[in-house]
């Protein structure tokens, strides 16, 4: 099922068949419905592997390569945190959560516009949404799951199923001020106040002219700081929380999760060229380059392909790079550092001069790319003052100090020769 733009109900898109061996998921097949492609506004379920102009209705196709599921379907299933919640809810081990269990127990609050039902006429899963007043109970449930404890049913019902982006950290979807937000929780094991630092870092990215969703902080007495980030795949309450389809860069590239470290930012830029909305590709490539430079400067090495996404909206004219999310500095004592994704001719080496080497893949001249690097470096150089203005105490600044290297230490002089 998929929610097409402007519709208030899901419509059948096609039939997914799972292939299992001894209850283990080993593959799948998908066939578009005979009527789907004729619907006004019909879009690709998976823009990389299930293009409507390439896959005939009623014809079963398998995922590319060694993928068990199509990327867009994989994106719509619970992430690592969601699986922990679901295993606790079903009172089973995480290893028992095969694709069928994940699909049968999926929540309509997942990212993107897909839903799963055994029959089109089946009612959708309950999509009850909570408000900030429930945060104390949500944090209680999340803490129990983090500690491997059994969670009382009334708390599990509050927590619900987690969204499908955001990785291993505890979180939940909340409604406030007429919008849906992803609430990201602290944990006892955090080396620093991660929600507070992530909020300050995203606001720093906004100052450096990146596309960042609205963020805010909620202090829960005795529990810690919760960061709220506005969902960019949902409309407002007045719009009925309309859904926009969304896929990860992992899906846009059609690769297996294990292959993510072999990929580079330039590969995402190439995917934008293949899939991106007409007239918007250059702007999105420039934005992606700016984010790569920012990640170098703040030492955000959790920049894997699931932490980049594309969103499909009618007013975009198709697929565009999503707003920025999941950016947290990682302190390190090493003088030589690496991002998860490749940067330039020197691979994943996290330096500004390396970022310059493949700038043409981002539709930038060397001089234009050097100007972007210099501009972003100028903003990040003032990170301490910005963090203080965002309410980050000195003790927390000290804990992340080693994430931030001086731009002059990582190749800015070589870059500035091209200005």
Between CA 318 and CA 327, with CA 324 as vertex, the angle to 5 degrees is: 155
What's this model's pTM, rounded to 2 decimal places? 0.96
pLDDT at 350 over 50: yes
pLDDT at 128 over 80: no
Alpha helices, DSSP H only, in 208-357? 249-253, 265-275, 281-298, 352-356
pLDDT for res 127: 64
pLDDT greater at residue 334 or residue 11: 11
Beta-bridge partners for 17: 29
Do the bridges between strand 224-230 and strand 245-248 make them parallel or antiparallel, or are there none, so unpaired? unpaired
pLDDT average, residue stretch 366-385: 99
299 touches 332 (CB < 8 A): yes
| pLDDT band, residue 157 (cuts 50/70/90) | confident
Q: Give the mean pLDDT of the chain.
A: 93
pLDDT greater at residue 50 or residue 166: 50
291 touches 269 (CB < 8 A): no
Q: Work out the percent of the chain whose per-residue pLDDT is above 90.
A: 77
What is the distance, to the nearest Å, from the Cα of residue 59 to the centroid of all Cα atoms in its chain? 31
> Six-digit token pair at 339?
């991002």
The residue whose two tokens read 């719009």 is: 239
pLDDT greater at residue 4 or residue 107: 4
The continuous run of DSSP H or E covering 184 comes out as: strand 179-184
d(CA 307, CA 172): 17
> Six-digit token pair at 196?
């507070």
d(CA 187, CA 223): 9
3-state SS, residue 179: strand
| pLDDT band, residue 162 (cuts 50/70/90) | very low
């Amino acid at each position: 099922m998929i929610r097409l733009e402007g519709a208030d109900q899901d419509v059948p898109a096609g039939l997914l068949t799972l292939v299992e061996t001894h209850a283990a998921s080993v593959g799948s097949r998908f066939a578009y419905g005979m009527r789907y492609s004729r619907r006004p506004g019909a879009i690709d379920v998976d823009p990389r592997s299930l293009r409507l102009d390439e896959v005939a209705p009623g014809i079963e196709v398998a995922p590319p390569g060694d993928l068990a599921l199509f990327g867009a379907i994989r994106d719509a299933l619970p992430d690592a945190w969601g699986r922990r919640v679901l295993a606790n809810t079903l009172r089973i081990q995480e290893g028992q959560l095969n694709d069928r269990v994940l699909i049968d127990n999926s929540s309509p609050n997942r990212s993107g516009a897909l839903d799963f039902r055994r029959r089109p006429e089946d009612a959708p899963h309950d999509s009850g949404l909570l408000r900030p007043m429930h945060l104390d109970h949500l944090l209680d449930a999340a803490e129990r799951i983090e500690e491997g404890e059994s969670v009382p049913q009334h708390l599990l019902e509050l927590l619900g199923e987690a969204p499908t982006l955001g990785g291993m950290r505890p979180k939940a979807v909340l409604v406030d001020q007429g919008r849906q937000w992803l609430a990201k929780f602290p944990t006892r094991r955090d080396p620093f106040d991660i929600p507070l630092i992530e909020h300050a870092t995203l606001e720093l990215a906004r100052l450096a002219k990146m596309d960042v969703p609205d963020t805010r902080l909620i202090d829960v007495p005795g529990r810690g700081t919760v960061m709220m980030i506005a969902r960019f795949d949902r409309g407002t309450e007045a719009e009925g929380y309309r859904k926009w389809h969304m896929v990860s860069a992992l899906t846009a590239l059609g690769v297996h999760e294990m292959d993510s470290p072999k990929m580079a930012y330039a590969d995402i830029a190439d995917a934008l060229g293949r899939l991106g909305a007409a007239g918007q590709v250059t702007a999105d490539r420039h934005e992606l380059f700016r984010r790569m430079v920012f990640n170098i400067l703040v030492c955000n090495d959790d920049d894997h392909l699931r932490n980049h996404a594309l969103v499909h909206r009618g007013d975009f004219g198709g697929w565009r790079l999503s707003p920025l999310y999941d950016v947290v500095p990682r302190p390190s004592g090493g003088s030589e550092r690496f991002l998860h994704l490749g940067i330039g001719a020197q691979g994943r080496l996290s330096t500004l001069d390396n970022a310059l080497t493949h700038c043409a893949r981002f539709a930038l001249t060397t001089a234009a790319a050097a100007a972007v690097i210099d501009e972003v470096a100028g903003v990040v150089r003032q990170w301490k003052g910005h963090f203080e203005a965002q309410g980050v105490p000195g003790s927390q600044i000290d804990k992340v100090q080693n994430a931030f290297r001086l731009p002059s230490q990582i190749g800015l002089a070589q870059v500035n020769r091209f200005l």
